[in-house]
Amino acid sequence: MVCLNLIWRSNLEVFSLTVTANLRLLGFAPNLLELVLPISFKIAYTKVSFMSRFYVTTPIYYVNDKPHLGHAYTTLAADVLARWHRQRGDDVFFLTGTDEHGAKVQQSAEAAGLTPQALADQNAQKFKDAWSALNISYDYFIRTSQAEHEVVVRELLQRVYDAGYIYSGEYEGLYCVGCEKFMPDGELVNGRCPLHPNQDPVAQKEKNYFFKLSAFRDKLLTKLEAGEYKVIPEGRYNEVVGKLKQGLEDISISRNSVEWGVRVPWDESQTIYVWIDALINYYSATQFVPGKKEFWPADVHLLAKDILWFHAVIWEALLLAAELPLPKVVASHGFFTIDGQKMSKSLGNVIDPLDLIKEFGLEATRYLLLSQVPFTIDGDISLARFRERYESDLANGLGNTFSRVTDMIEKFGNGNFTAQPGVITYTESTSSAVENALRLFEFDTALLAIFDIIRTIDGEIEKYKPWNMVKLDKSQEIQPLLNRWGTMLLDVSLYIKPFMPETAHNIEQGLRADKVLKTTPLFPRLSS
């Protein structure tokens, strides 16, 4: 496959359209804009570039949990990136899934009178259902209890063991069952894990196998500082580098007392530490999912900041030990508070994304989650602000503008509309703004750039007032304006498609009808 970037030049300005060509058939298949362009436009420039691969991952979510707002935010961000790259013509692999091993799952299963596998089966489906409800376009849903994954985990760890980076020892310390993590004294707050302040860590002493993490300090620093893999945002990159410079300690990578897990290949009496098992999913999926081997290394790992160390240091060290390529970017987002308070089950303020869909609808929920909080920093979520943004940006913004334009095309243009690529003012500037924002994971900034087009259309409508032009006998001047505004809305539909695919489809469908009619509201006003 190649991508051909064709630029048609009208007498006004340049309009770009990317189409995909199949070399085998030597034919063109317009699959992105699907606009019927006037044949009088002449090709001014042609550039051929080979299709790129793009591999994006979310963390695999722990099956002891149920989908919440944080899970939805990370997964939705990955979905937008995947859709955007597909729209550009890239070959995309989007991976998500569930983390199903470890002490916490084993204990919860026992308490529920279930086997660990039965509990994992039950709860993994909840994540699949949530992602279906959010229209998440993942390519594969991995589960760490899959036999195919376990085979790759054992093979990779055997390579690290054979290379001399794993040794036997005895671990004695405190273990946070909630995090499935050994807790050094320096990370405890008042003797407890800061993320699980209501749980006492468990004192443990057992024979384990250790990974020589300390051997990779200098290599990791060199690769980070050379940009061979990136940690985003810059503040967290600095935190990782600063901690690396303080030195690394070897880490335990097996458990003697946990039955529910992947067996250590050279010692079946031990199970592999759940975090090591989980991290390998990003690589394992490329090895057993058909046709995905060439996608490693991952282009982007998306995750929350609390698990950055595992993803930016421990994972890379394991890959170096196994002589495998490193992921290109590790991008972490901040934490949410709800109305200024930490999201907590005990406070009863955990928001279920399915409840948001019930109140605002699917497309609005996707928009609201990514527009309210910048990806790379901590942010506060408020249902009241969600309602305000729904009304201002969607009901009174995009939805109302689309209704006004289609109404005027029906009323003043007799339903006739012709797309005019040559009059799009914002194609190049918006394209660059959206692309730059998404490369920096600034989803809110990308949406602002797109919605600037809506504000421009609204401003022009108020400036020209077509209803007054009819009274002034200027009807012949109205159709070019209608064509311009309709075309700008098609422009919006293109850019907004990764964020709100159904909305984009509805805009395109409404404006490409044989006769354009005023549409039903895209975003009905909320009942008071």
Q: What does the pLDDT look like over 123-142, one tens digit per residue? A: 999 999 999 999 999 999 99
φ, ψ for residue 103 (rounded to 5)? Answer: -65, -40
Using the CB atoms, write b or e for 270-289: b if 16+ within 10 Å: bbbbbbbbbbbbbbbbbbbb
Max Cα distance, the chain (Å): 90
Contacts of 63 (CB under 8 A, 6+ apart): 98, 99, 100, 105, 119, 120, 123, 124, 127
Active-site amino acid positions: 68, 71, 176, 179, 193, 196, 342, 345
CA distance 351 to 31: 37
Token pair recorded at residue 472? 């002034």
**pLDDT of 47 strictly over 70:** no
8 A C-beta contact, residue 247 and residue 103: no
* DSSP at 164: T
- Pairing label, strands 53-62, 91-99: parallel
Residue 108 has a pLDDT of: 93
8 A C-beta contact, residue 17 and residue 33: yes
* DSSP at 392: I
8 A C-beta contact, residue 150 and residue 117: no
Q: 């087009």: which residue's tokens?
A: 453
Residue 444 has a pLDDT of: 97
Rounded average pLDDT over 457-469: 95
Rounded average pLDDT over 473-479: 89
CA distance 378 to 212: 33
Residue 257 has a pLDDT of: 86
φ, ψ for residue 233 (rounded to 5)? Answer: -85, 180
Residue 241 has a pLDDT of: 98
pLDDT over 90, % of the chain: 73
One-letter amino acid at 2 equals V
* DSSP at 422: G
Q: With bands split at pLDDT 50, 70 and 90, how would you rate the model's confidence at 178?
A: low
Residue 180 has a pLDDT of: 66
Q: Look at 68-72, 155-159, 238-242, 315-319 and tell me which has the smallest mean pLDDT.
A: 68-72
CA distance 304 to 185: 23
Residue 44 has a pLDDT of: 27
Query: Mean of the per-residue pLDDT values for the chain?
Result: 87
One-letter amino acid at 102 equals G
Q: With bands split at pLDDT 50, 70 and 90, how would you rate the model's confidence at 466?
A: very high
Which range has the top average pLDDT, 167-176, 425-434, 454-463?
Answer: 454-463
8 A C-beta contact, residue 77 and residue 137: no
Q: What is the dihedral of CA 447, 452, 455, 457, to 10 degrees?
A: -110
Q: Look at 141-155, 268-282, 334-348 and tell me which has the smallest mean pLDDT.
A: 334-348
Q: Please count the CA atoms within 13 angstroms of the CA of 352 that sit on its side-chain side.
A: 12
Considering the entire predicted model, what is its pTM?
Answer: 0.87
- Pairing label, strands 181-183, 166-176: antiparallel
Residue 426 has a pLDDT of: 55
Among residues 48, 47, 21, the alpha carbon closest in space to that of 32 is found at 21
Q: 């317009």: which residue's tokens?
A: 30
Q: What angle do CA 305, 307, 309 make, to 5 degrees?
A: 95
Q: With bands split at pLDDT 50, 70 and 90, how would you rate the model's confidence at 347?
A: low
One-letter amino acid at 42 equals K
Rounded average pLDDT over 240-244: 97
One-letter amino acid at 388 equals E
φ, ψ for residue 68 (rounded to 5)? Answer: -130, -175
Indicate the burial class of 496 (C-beta count within 10 angstroms; 0-12, 13-18, 19 or more).
buried
**pLDDT of 250 strictly over 50:** yes
Token pair recorded at residue 224? 């980070």
pLDDT tens string 276-331: 999 999 999 999 999 999 999 999 999 999 999 999 999 999 999 999 999 999 99
Rounded average pLDDT over 339-344: 75
Residue with more model confidence, 474 or 43: 474
Residue 336 has a pLDDT of: 85
Token pair recorded at residue 63? 């099956």
DSSP for 463-494, please give it. HH-HHHHHHTT-GGGHHHHHHHHHHHHHHHHH
DSSP for 259-320, please give it. -SSPEETTEEEEEE-HHHHHHTHHHHHHHHSTT-GGGPSPSEEEEEGGGHHIIIIIHHHHHH
